[in-house]
Amino acid sequence: MGNPILADDAIGVRLAKDFKARLDRVTAARVTVVEECSVGGMNLLEVVADYDRLIVLDSIKTQGGIPGTWYYFTAESLRETMNLNNVHDTNFATALELGRRIGHKIPLENEIHIFAIEVQDNITFAEAMTPPLEDAYPIISEEIFQEVFRFIQG
């Protein structure tokens, strides 16, 4: 997930492209890689419906976070962010739940694996990531790839 022309927000898109190439070489597993997902809200349903498991790669910006730090959690952790009372505030968790309620096949919360990479700048239009994230990219990429590969094989 992310926007390839918003500096560090491109991290998920870049990881997905790199992982697709690597996965094509090392696994015969049936894996669909969506290399670019710049949609949000209810439009996410078109991307996530009809899969048994999702692996999401995205950026995150937290107060005091160190660019290049990455976090792993499942969609179970998103439960507290849901707000089904106002569709104008449709975040990822809300879109998933609403999709289930209207009959879409959406993976169970424990089958949605999210890797969020701490970023420095996710609002500046730029085709390059910031130097701290670019410097950390080889390590981030390898660590997360190993985790993703483990999910695919397991």
* Residue-wise pLDDT tens digits, 60-117: 999 999 999 999 999 988 765 444 444 445 788 888 888 899 999 999 999 999 999 9
Q: What percent of the chain has pLDDT over 90?
A: 60
Q: What pTM was estimated for this model as a whole?
A: 0.88
Name the residue ranges covered by the structural domains of the chain: 7-146
Which CATH code is given to the segment(s) 7-146?
3.40.50.1450
Instruction: Check: CB of residue 20 under 8 Å from CB of residue 143.
Output: no
Query: What is the spatial order of strands in the sheet that 112-118 belongs to?
Result: 54-60, 112-118, 70-74
CB 115 within 8 A of CB 123: no
Chain segment 26-41, per-residue pLDDT in tens: 766 678 888 777 767 7
